Chain A
């Protein structure tokens, strides 16, 4: 679960990680009040959406006077911000974060993540902040500091020293930095984070070390032990259909193609999307109804797929195995009747009683096309996509 920058910074402050003074606003009036409480200009105006790349998209601007503030806030609040991570539709900005402008001496990069293979916690830091870490890693790998921390023994002083010295920090700056990193590590572990990224972490001309930005992703699987963090979920950041899918325990992601698809299992669902593409069409979605598949799930799946006006045909691929195909087929017929589907639906199913299942589909009188296997399903969906009759 991703959270907003301002939420992450509130958590940072609770953990003793310094951030610039500021506050959030959803209207111009609120913005004025927040800035009135600050010592003066310049003020940063930052759009609060979950996607990165906000600055390049015009969602982060500097205001140097009250008149300037009004203009900048008016530009950003309500705008549809399109960044490399939002997709072409962009995201509407409902909230801005207003922060005291600072005199910067240096910008650094600092993140905590997990190394999947070794199961260690990774500190990654760089003396060149402000740009994407992947760019730094490619352009100047020598400047990257990468320190592994064993999660059982935890963070030790030498990890902190090695990171600070690796960044070339000395004296008071090194001291402030190591205190911040210690707090950040505790935050990362306590709050079940998947990723914490501060880019940039800044050193001001008067020697303070602060988190100018904050990107935090929390493990959704661990929210049962963090009711306070669960309340930070922002439903407006999620596609409404994807949110609804989650309520019904299915995984749905909207894509830009015309062939809707419904599959049991995430790996097979991805492979089915690839198969649609191979057949010369584009998948309209990713939809994983789980290892099993019930009539109820199929019905919700149909409703999600049909809500997308671009969909021209549907491919159902259920590898049941233990699942009974006659039961599944009856569920598909019931769901198709209930949802009033008129689009062609190609069904490939595998499992026990598959012949009975096919008979039920054929006898339904609906536009349900049975595929013998995956290869046959691909050919039939290619015909559907090209608009030919089957």
Chain B
């Protein structure tokens, strides 16, 4: 079991003929994901490897019953690609693209409330349910199928680091996903925690946050009242200076809000076990999840 994607996922790739899109379409397929369609306007009717390419998402969905799409479209067109997918009835949309203007995302996030689609990202590494399906840019080989841990993070490579250490410690994963480093994202920590709490195969959760905004604090309030499974937390950015955007558009400390210290304190108040030494993350998880029976 897993959340969001599994053996039944039928993946469509928007921007499949681009450099990133084509590379990762092959990587997802090589992992065993059913990559059923690609969309590149103007290239409909051609084939990419054994994958049919369509001009529109609606056409691709009608023909292939795709139920998840992965977006590699450049930032100025990515908002349009997200809405095309939503209006074509795709239930899960994962946007990898970095640099979508904030005001575009404001309109998209509000428009999505009128559709049945869930958006993950943008500016995220995607989702993987190890052993079942990979809809993202993460290296598949570092994951260990079989659960019992779910991983949710705002970051990309930091998530890989955390997963790699879990795998080395012999701790498998149900699903690992990055929600994205932008200020406005489609799916937040609370949505993922809700899904992990409901998933019977997930018996413990790893939550990786970073400076900026208050998504971690809000998630911690939710954990206090609604999450019964053990949660291990990590926050990046204790040494980040105030007022500077640390790579991710959303990673900025404004005044006294959004600091790593405040997020760690919120985690500790809500009973999350916070790992302070990333170098020993795997050992820390072994200790916590073993003692909490995960």
Measured CB to CB, the residues of A under 8 A from B are 85, 87, 114, 116-117, 119-121, 132, 134, 150-152, 189, 192, 194, 219, 221-222, 224-225, 251, 253, 255, 263-271, 273-278, 282-283, 286, 288, 291, 319-322, 350-352, 373-378
- Which A residues are CB-close (under 8 A) to B213? 116-117
Which one, B43-51, B85-93, B241-249, is touching chain A?
B241-249
Complex Cα gap A187–B238 (Å): 35
- Chain A residues, Cβ within 8 Å of B102: 114, 192, 194, 219, 221-222
With the chains together, A224 CA to B76 CA distance in Å? Answer: 8
Whether the Cβ atoms of B139 and A152 lie closer than 8 Å is no
Q: How far is the CA of A271 from the CA of B234 in the complex (A)?
A: 9
User: Looking across the interface, which residue of chain A has its beta carbon closest to that of B109?
Assistant: A119
Q: Is the CB of A267 within 8 A of B241?
A: no
Known: A221-B75, A286-B240, A373-B279. A267 touches B158 (CB 8 A): yes
Do B255 and A267 have beta carbons less than 8 Å apart?
Answer: no
Contact A270 to B157, CB < 8 A, known contacts A114-B184, A116-B213, A192-B102: no
Question: What are 11 inter-chain pairs, A to B, with CB distance below 8 A?
Answer: A151-B107, A194-B102, A222-B103, A253-B244, A265-B247, A267-B155, A267-B208, A270-B246, A270-B251, A273-B239, A276-B239
Q: Which residues of B have CB within 8 Å of A286?
A: 240, 244, 246-247
Determine whether B10 belongs to the interface, using a CB cutoff of 8 Å to chain A: no
Contact between chains at B210 and A221 (CB < 8 Å) = no
Measured in the bound complex, the distance between the Cα atoms of B278 and A124 in whole Å is 38
- Do A270 and B237 have beta carbons less than 8 Å apart? yes
Q: Tell me, in angstroms, the Cα distance from A121 to B104 when the chains sit together.
A: 12
A221 and B249 form a contact (CB under 8 A): yes
* Distance to closest chain B CB from A371 (angstroms): 10
Of A87, A251, A268, most B-chain CB atoms within 10 Å: A268
Q: Which of B142, B181, B239, B256 contacts A267 (CB 8 A)?
A: B181
Contact A121 B106 (CB under 8 A): yes
B153 at interface by CB-CB < 8 Å: yes
Chain B residue contacts of A219, Cβ below 8 A: 101-103
A263-B157, A269-B246, A288-B247 provided; 15 other pairs, C-beta below 8 A?
A: A116-B250, A117-B213, A117-B214, A134-B257, A219-B101, A253-B244, A253-B246, A267-B153, A267-B248, A273-B240, A274-B239, A275-B279, A321-B142, A350-B160, A373-B279
**A189 to chain B: which residues have CB within 8 Å?**
103
Cα A376 to Cα B277 with chains together (Å): 12
- Complex contacts, B246 vs chain A, CB 8 Å: 251, 253, 266, 269-270, 286, 288
Q: Which residues of B contact A (CB under 8 A)?
A: 27, 75-76, 99-107, 109-111, 137-139, 141-142, 153-161, 164-165, 181, 183-184, 188, 208, 210-211, 213-215, 218, 234, 236-244, 246-251, 255-257, 260, 276-280
Docked pose: A283 CA to B236 CA in angstroms: 14
- A266 & B181 in contact (Cβ 8 Å cutoff): yes
List the B side residues contacting A277 at CB < 8 Å.
238-239
Q: Residues of B contacting A222 with CB < 8 Å?
A: 101-104
- Given known pairs A267-B159, A268-B155, the reply for A375 and B236 (CB within 8 Å) is no
Q: Could you tell me if A119 and B279 are in contact, using CB atoms closer than 8 angstroms?
A: no
Partner of A374, one of B103, B215, B279: B279
Of B105, B137, B244, B255, which one neighbours A132 at CB under 8 angstroms? B255
Which residues from A are CB-within-8-Å of B237?
Answer: 270-271, 273-274
Given known contacts A151-B103, A283-B239, A264 and B244 CB-to-CB distance under 8 angstroms: no
Q: Is the interface of A mostly helix, strand, loop or mixed?
A: mixed
In the assembly, what is the distance between CA of A192 and CA of B75, in Å? 15
Closest A residue by C-beta to B210: A267
- Report B-chain residues with C-beta under 8 Å of the C-beta of A321: 138-139, 141-142, 157, 160
* Distance, CA A113 to CA B157, complexed state (A): 30
Q: 9 tightest A-B contacts by CB?
A: A267-B155, A266-B247, A321-B139, A265-B157, A375-B279, A267-B158, A222-B101, A119-B109, A270-B236
Cα A100 to Cα B260 with chains together (Å): 43
User: A352 CA to B247 CA in the complex, in Å?
Assistant: 26
Residues of chain A within 8 A of B158, CB atoms compared: 265, 267-268, 270-271
Contact in complex: B251, A268 (CB < 8 Å): no
Asked if A266 and B111 sit within 8 Å, CB to CB, the answer is no
Given contacts A114-B183, A270-B240, contact A265 B155 (CB under 8 A): yes
Contact of A114 with B106 in the complex, beta carbons under 8 Å: yes
B279 close to A378 (CB less than 8 A):
yes
* The residue from A134, A152, A319 contacting B161, defined by CB atoms under 8 A apart: A319
Report the bound CA distance from A253 to B245 in whole Å: 9
Residue of B nearest to A86 (CB): B243
Cβ of A295 to closest chain B Cβ, rounded Å: 18
- Minimum CB distance partner of B188 in chain A: A117
CB distance from B83 to the nearest CB of A (A): 12
Which chain A residue shows the least CB distance to B218?
Answer: A117
Known A-B contacts A219-B101, A270-B210, A277-B239; the reply to A151 vs B110 at CB < 8 A is: yes
Contact: A374 with B161, CB < 8 Å? yes
Which residues of the partner chain A approach B181 to less than 8 Å between Cβ atoms?
Answer: 266-267
Please measure, in the bound complex, the distance between the C-alpha atom of A274 and the C-alpha atom of B260, giving whole angstroms. Answer: 11
Out of B156, B211, B243, B248, name the residue touching A85 (CB < 8 Å): B243
CA distance A246 to B104 in the complex (A): 23
Q: How far is the CA of A224 from the CA of B99 in the complex (A)?
A: 11
A282→B240 CA distance, assembly (Å): 11
- The interface residues of chain A lying within 8 Å CB-to-CB of B238 are 274, 277
A278 surroundings in chain B (CB, below 8 A): 276-277
For A85, list chain B residues within 8 Å (CB).
242-243
Complex Cα spacing A269 to B244, Å:
14
Q: Give the complex CA separation of A268 and B142 in angstroms.
A: 16
- What distance in Å separates the Cβ of A150 from its nearest Cβ neighbour in chain B? 6
Q: Are A266 and B183 in contact (CB-based, < 8 A)?
A: no
- B155 lies within 8 A of A116 (CB): no
CB-based contact B156/A271 at 8 Å:
no
